[in-house]
């Protein structure tokens, strides 16, 4: 059971907008930044959204992050087939003194 809660799956058709949610608590998301990782098949995870809303260099502006209270989300607009993969949220947990991850959301482009 992951400390952060994500839906196990999400899907959309090319061009659509999809949102993936991540729910935590005051010891993690509520008091620390949320980061999102994209993990495509056969590759290493990639930092997709840093510090709640920031896109690292090279990440298209189709990807955006938001946070409110103890929940966060990542939105993908203009969905493309190459976006298909797993998406993970992560945050530092002050109580555990650990990074905690969501269980991951498998994104399917129909």
Partner 1 sequence: QVQLVQSGAEAAKPGASVKVSCKASGYTFSTYGISWVRQAPGQGLEWVGWITPYNGNMNYALKLQDRVTMTTDTSTSTVYMELRSLRSDDTAVYYCAREGRYCSGRNCDPPRHGMDVWGQGTMVTVSS
Q: Which residues bind partner 1 (CB under 8 A)?
A: 2, 32-33, 35-37, 39, 44-47, 49-51, 56, 86, 88, 90, 92, 94, 96-104
3-class DSSP state of 82: helix
Q: Of the two residues 56 and 78, which places its CB atom closer to partner 1 in the complex?
A: 56
Q: Of the two residues 10 and 47, which places its CB atom closer to partner 1 in the complex?
A: 47
Minimum distance of partner 1 from residue 6's CB (angstroms): 9
Minimum distance of partner 1 from residue 37's CB (angstroms): 7
φ, ψ for residue 82, nearest 5 deg: -75, -5
How far is the C-alpha of 93 from the C-alpha of 101, rounded, in Å? Answer: 10
How far is the C-alpha of 45 from the C-alpha of 48, rounded, in Å? Answer: 9
CA atoms within 13 A on the CB side of 32: 21
Minimum distance of partner 1 from residue 35's CB (angstroms): 3
């Amino acid at each position: 059971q992951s400390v952060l809660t994500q839906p196990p799956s999400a899907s959309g058709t090319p061009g659509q907008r999809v949102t993936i949610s991540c729910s935590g608590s005051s010891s993690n998301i509520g008091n620390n930044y949320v980061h999102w990782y994209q993990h495509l098949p056969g590759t290493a995870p990639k930092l997709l959204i840093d510090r709640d809303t920031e896109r690292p260099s090279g990440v298209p502006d189709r990807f955006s992050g938001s946070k409110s209270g103890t929940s966060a989300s990542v939105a993908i607009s203009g969905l493309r087939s190459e976006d298909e993969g797993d998406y993970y949220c992560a945050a530092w947990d002050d109580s555990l003194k650990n990074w905690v991850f969501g269980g991951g959301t498998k994104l399917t482009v129909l």
